[in-house]
Every structure is written in structure tokens, then in C-alpha cells.
Amino acid sequence: MVRLAVIGSNFVTDWLIDALRETPGVELAAVCSRTLERGQEYAARHGAPKVIVGLDDLCRDPDIDAVYVATPNLFHAPQTIALLESGKHVLCEKPVATDCASFDAMCDAARKHNRVLMEAMVCAHLPCWLEIHKLLDEIGPVRRVSITFCQYSSRYDKFKAGIVENAFDPTLGNGALMDLGVYCVHAAQMIFGAPKSVRAAAVKIPGSIDGAGSILLGYDDCIADIQYSKISQGAQLTEIQGEGGSLLIDSITRPTTWRLIPRTGKRADGLSGVSGSGLSERSIDVLAPRHAMAYELSDFLRQIHGESMPQFNENTRAVMQVLDEARAQTGVDFRKGSV
């Protein structure tokens, strides 16, 4: 049984603990908090048997095998490295680090101490995303992908009222790209691999960082158009367009239904077009039977038990390189916000 502690007490940690209860071979062993009072409240809510105050005590605790890190982005790398050096395996919430150099340092620590490090990127582990290439073969060759994650943040109203919470704090490594855009870039990475070119633009928030943005990823024979926002609400589906048809996806992080729409060959002007693709339109139920985060937790455990899965960190590193380039082009600097 893997004894897991959690550090960070937000709604994402709540989800991870819910997923843990559906995952055999792991138990919630402790809650780590900066204060005893906060730790006790969170432990009582989730039935954790132990409260650990502070990272140092967590590192020293011999009864903890692995840690889920869900603190603000800025702290991911230093906390994860300390935990790896103390002999703990680490599942770190996305984005795994604020830049690629920090992620490389985390990976070096994992290799040196023979521990498992994995980013908690939900879409990288869902069965439907792992099966997507079969559908791409049906509609392919793929020529264009539009990946969208635009979700108005409740914290934005507070920001406009003069209250800057973590989500819009430039000193904590947050912002729309790191919060939502990272999912879109990771989806493109899983479909196509690393891009040949990156072109980025962002909407800046005065006194903070990026509130929205777009990234155009170029490949040899297709493009990926990424849109993300924390300051507007989107209704557009993600679409993968191929020569044989298109695939509509209702959600990047927790998809329920994908819809395959074939090319029919019909033209609006009544003139005859080329013949259709021969595919039939259909909806595909992709709702995960388990909690969405249970799949990433299961893959994390499989690595702890010795199974090699290098593709996850390889994809994470490629995504981090794209995020670095996008921030450089848009002038997002975590030390001072947007410039």
C-alpha cells in the first residue's frame, strides 16, 4: 500500500482525494499544511489520520511514501526537489514547474534519488485521449486543430474589485496560460508531438499577468490553433479537422462525448463536389467510468511499482518548452507580471 500525503488544500486536492478512494493500492496517510489549525480542518474533512506541519517535517516523515503537490506554481519545483531528495515519490499538479529549466532540475533529482516524478495532467491519462489516434486515422490526414479552453474565473471579479488572489498573482507563476492554456498545449502535444514553430499573443491584465491568449503551433503538414482565457466564457468546442471529416470534442480535461462528422462532398451553391469520405456521422461516448483523476493516479502508482512510462515526462518537457516560448513572445514575466 502506497501511503500518500497531500500538500495544498484547494478544490483540486479535494478531487484528487476523491479519485484516491476509487484507486486500489494507495491510501491518504497525511495532510501537510503551513499551520496546524488549517491542517486539522482539512484532515477532518477528508478523514486523513495525520497532520504534518511544514515541508521539513513532511520530508522527514518515514511513514509517507509519496506526496501530491498542489501548492501555487512557484513552489512546485523547490518543494518537489526537496521531497524527491528525501526519498518521496511526487505527483505534482500542473503546470509541473514555472519553466523548463526548473522541470529539468526536478527530473535530475528524481533520477539521482531513484524516485518517481510525474505531472498531474489529467488529459494525458484518460483512456479516450490515449485512443484518439484511431479516430484520427479515420478522418485523416489531419490538417488543422482548434483547441479551446476559455472559462471565466470567479476570481476575476475579485481582481476587478482590487483583490488579487493566487490565480492572478504574477509572483506565483500563475495566469491564463499556466492555468488553462497548458491543457491545450498538452493536448496538441499528445496528438502531434513537439511543434516546429510557436507564435503567441496574449491579453494582458494591468497590474497582473495574462488573462487570455492564443498560440499557433506549426507542424510539417498541419497547424494547431490554441485559445485560452480566464476573463471570458467560451462556448466553442475543440475541433480536429482532417481531409475525411472532423472530430468535435466537448471538453479537454473531462470529455463526455466526441462527435465524428464526415466530409460529405456537398456544396452550398448546388454544384457537385468531390465524393464524400465514406464515413458515417456518429457520437462517441467517452465519459470515463472512474473519476477522471483516478487514471493519472493509477499511472503514478504503476511507475512506483517499477513500470517504465517515460512518455509522460517527455511530453511534459516538450509542453514546458512551448510555454517558455509563448511567455517570452508575449512578455509575461513572473517576477513582475506582464510587460
- Judged against a pLDDT cut of 70, whether residue 275 lies above it is answered with no
Beta strands 142-150 and 238-242 are antiparallel
Q: Any idea how long the chain is?
A: 339
Residue 274, classed as helix, strand or coil, is coil
Q: How confident is the model at residue 339 (pLDDT cuts 50, 70, 90)?
A: very low
Q: How confident is the model at residue 209 (pLDDT cuts 50, 70, 90)?
A: confident
For the record, the C-alpha cell of 297 comes out as 493516479
Q: What pLDDT score does 90 carry?
A: 98
In angstroms, the CA 139 to CA 246 distance is: 6
Q: How confident is the model at residue 280 (pLDDT cuts 50, 70, 90)?
A: confident
Q: What pLDDT score does 295 carry?
A: 97
Q: Average pLDDT, stretch 275-304?
A: 91
What is the overall mean pLDDT for the chain?
93
Q: How far is CA 114 from the centre of its chain?
A: 24
Q: Average pLDDT, stretch 254-262?
A: 94
Q: What pLDDT score does 146 carry?
A: 97
In angstroms, the CA 46 to CA 134 distance is: 40
What is the crossing angle of helices 73-85 and 100-112, to 10°? 10
> 70-74, 262-266, 282-286: lowest mean pLDDT where?
262-266
> 54-63, 312-321, 325-334: lowest mean pLDDT where?
325-334
In angstroms, the CA 288 to CA 291 distance is: 7
Cβ atoms of 229 and 211 within 8 Å: the answer is yes
| Phi, psi (rounded to 5 degrees) for 170 | -65, -20
Percent of the chain with pLDDT over 90: 85
Tens of pLDDT, residue by residue over 13-47, are 999 999 999 999 999 999 999 999 999 999 999 99
Residue 243, classed as helix, strand or coil, is coil
Tens of pLDDT, residue by residue over 107-125, are 999 999 999 999 999 999 9
Helix (H) or strand (E) holding 62, with range, is none
Q: Average pLDDT, stretch 69-95?
A: 97
Beta strands 238-242 and 245-249 are antiparallel
